Structure 1
Amino acid sequence: MELTTVWFVLITVLWCGYFLLEGFDFGVGLLLPVLGRDDRERRLLINTIGPVWDGNEVWLIVAGGATFAAFPEWYATLFSGFYLPLLLILVALILRGLAFEYRGKSDSPQWKRYWDWAIIGGSFVPALLWGVAFGNIVRGVPISRDHEYVGGFFNLLNPYALLGGLTTLALFVLHGAVFLALKTDGDMRDRAGRVAGRVALPTVVIAAAFLLWTQLAHSDAWGWALSGAAAVALTGGVLAARARREGWAFLGTGAAIVLAVIALFVTLFPDVMPTTLAGGDSLTTTNAASTPYTLKVMTVVAACCTPVVLAYQAWTYWVFRRRLRVEHIPAGGH
């Protein structure tokens, strides 16, 4: 296997990890006003992701860095063409991170309400815009022969990409509800399970429509197989959630997200950013890649560091595996 293909696969894995882990983070943030009836319950919800949310974002940083190093042409065209939506995502993530850190610095209800909305907005914007961005990458955008994006912002707001945004938004809400049912106990666990049941059908319909549109447009055999597997996993997760088997439900929604991301990347390959212009030139794993020497050095570094990072993050999740109850949150605390 060529190193360009190896790094395309590795970047796919990084995005799978990011959407799998940060997906339930975003879902918890989006459900904050739905499940958090008072400050104590909202603190409970935040505490479920408190030990892991910043570690989950490492996957995004590494994915961006790997793209920059392995496929600099892809990185340059992507960030120049998608500048505004990516900037909005970055601002939202910064505000969200600040909210987690500063929400408990004051007992003022107004202060906490402000940061609660920062968490909600900071979860909504990326959950929606990541789907829009990837929808445009798979669909293709106007790229010239010089590998420059020649479209405008409104070119990105096409029906297919917007459906992609709704898909990631719905999947993350469902994934977050299932995670909360798995991570909490008592009344919060019951309510999270009921929310998961209510959002399940719309999520299945939206995700199925997006994956079906994708495969009808590209007619890729592997894409069809992976999309079908994602649909089965999502259905299984929904059924497990209704049966109060939260562990299996989380496995199902997580597998559906991972399989859907793999399906998009498989459909995209060997392109990394196709053009919609008749006289344009698509970016591929070949013409967008770094030099062979750079890829060799990166491969050695990744082979040494990746197992350590994975082991540490797995250990973090194991340490903080216990369920939380409202009674674990001190009354009147930060």
Structure 2
Amino acid sequence: MGLQEFWFLIIAVLWIGYFTLEGFDFGVGMALPILGRGPDGERRKRVLLNTIGPVWDGNEVWLLTAGGATFAAFPEWYATLFSGFYLALFLILVALIIRALGFEYRGKRDSDAWRRGWDWCIAIGSYVPALLWGVAFTNIVRGVPIDQHHEYTGNLFTLLNPIALLGGLMTLTVFFLHGLNFISLKTTGQIRDDARAMATKVWVVAAVITVAFMLIINVQQGSIWSWLSFLIAVVACVGGFLAHLADREGWAFTGTFLAIAFVVASLFFALFPDVMPSSTNPDYSLTIYNASSSHLTLQIMTVVAVIFTPIVLLYQGFTYWMFRKRISVDNIPPAQDERDLATV
């Protein structure tokens, strides 16, 4: 394996980490207006937010690292992607910003209207990226119009094609399901029961959309490795659903975690060795070879990654371990006693 192949693999792993971890963050945000209803709604919402409160910002580091690694290892890919997908990525960035503001500011005032406004910011800031990430990755894998200068020649509506929108629906429903499984794993009482009941319905919808989308992708341009990853994802999904029916929340969450991981892996296997195929002319496609940095740059990056990656993984693993216990509305004090979102 050369350094170009190695860094393509690393970037794939970073995106897998982002989608599997930030995916349940998005799912919890999407579930907030639904599971947070009722006479005890405010305390239920604070339970939901506390399930991801210690980890949501750490999960976003995977996105920053994936973007930075792409910029350093494959600058041509980064330049074409971020210039061509500028508006779509801008919408994702705005959504992530208002979502982060919602986490930070909803508890700063003792006002129902104030909190409701920020709750919708969190929900919208979860729905929009969950949809648009699927749209973006579908277009990356299937190819977009790129000219001989490696410049994107389409527009936003070029990206919003039927197959890409199906990919967006896949990530939207799968992240929602992943979040419901995380809520079931992290809570007790009625909110856990409600999340489990909703997950049963969403599971079927998410599975049908995912299988339909992945069959289209793999039939069109799949390889033996992309097909194998897809089949593993199907097995993980079925196993997770059976665990869900058996009230084994930990294994159910593991099932959706692995399903997301292997779906993303399947997309990267289908993409390789391209990084942005050209639908205009295959000769204009960006590959890991014509889009990469110099050999020396990749060598330096490899040394840095080998040193610091284990440290980051250990730290994030420690965070999840420290905040592993379940919570319920009984753990949430009245809203007027809590003005800092650190305890939401």
Give the TM-score, by structure 1 length: 0.99
Report the counterpart of residue 4 of structure 2 in structure 1: 4
d(CA) in 2 for partners of 1:135, 1:235: 24
Pairs aligned (count): 334
**5+ residue gaps in structure 1?**
none
Given the alignment of the two structures, is residue 228 of structure 1 paired with residue 254 of structure 2, yes or no? no
d(CA) in 2 for partners of 1:324, 1:279: 53
Contact 1:132-1:162 within 8 A present in 2 as well: yes
Query: Displacement, 1:280?
Result: 5.2
Q: Which runs of 4+ in 1 moved over 2 A?
A: none
Contact 2:184-2:195 within 8 A present in 1 as well: yes
Contact 1:35-1:192 within 8 A present in 2 as well: yes
Report the counterpart of residue 156 of structure 2 in structure 1: 153
Q: Percent identity?
A: 60
d(CA) in 2 for partners of 1:57, 1:279: 34
Q: 1:140 is aligned with what amino acid? A: G
Report the counterpart of residue 139 of structure 2 in structure 1: 136
State the secondary structure of the residue aligned to 2:20.
helix
Q: Of residues 82, 94, 99 in structure 2, which corresponds to 1:96?
A: 99
Q: Of residues 172, 183, 188 in structure 2, which corresponds to 1:185?
A: 188
d(CA) in 1 for partners of 2:91, 2:247: 37
Given the alignment of the two structures, is residue 47 of structure 1 paired with residue 50 of structure 2, yes or no? yes
**5+ residue gaps in structure 2?**
339-344
Matches within 5 A, 1:244-255: 244-255=247-258
Contact 1:32-1:120 within 8 A present in 2 as well: yes
Query: Displacement, 1:279?
Result: 7.0
Given the alignment of the two structures, is residue 30 of structure 1 paired with residue 17 of structure 2, yes or no? no
| CA deviation profile, 1:276-323 (whole Å, cap 9, x unmatched) | 003751000000000000000000000000000000000000000000
Q: 1:83 is aligned with what amino acid? A: Y
Matches within 5 A, 1:49-198: 49-198=52-201
Contact 1:18-1:60 within 8 A present in 2 as well: yes
Matches within 5 A, 1:305-324: 305-324=308-327
d(CA) in 2 for partners of 1:279, 1:226: 25
d(CA) in 1 for partners of 2:56, 2:281: 43
Contact 1:271-1:284 within 8 A present in 2 as well: yes
State the secondary structure of the residue aligned to 1:272.
strand
Report the counterpart of residue 15 of structure 1 in structure 2: 15
d(CA) in 1 for partners of 2:4, 2:261: 21
d(CA) in 1 for partners of 2:63, 2:281: 33
Give the TM-score, by structure 2 length: 0.96
d(CA) in 2 for partners of 1:127, 1:207: 14
Contact 1:142-1:280 within 8 A present in 2 as well: no
d(CA) in 2 for partners of 1:268, 1:101: 38
Report the counterpart of residue 294 of structure 1 in structure 2: 297
Q: 1:21 is aligned with what amino acid? A: L
Report the counterpart of residue 341 of structure 2 in structure 1: none
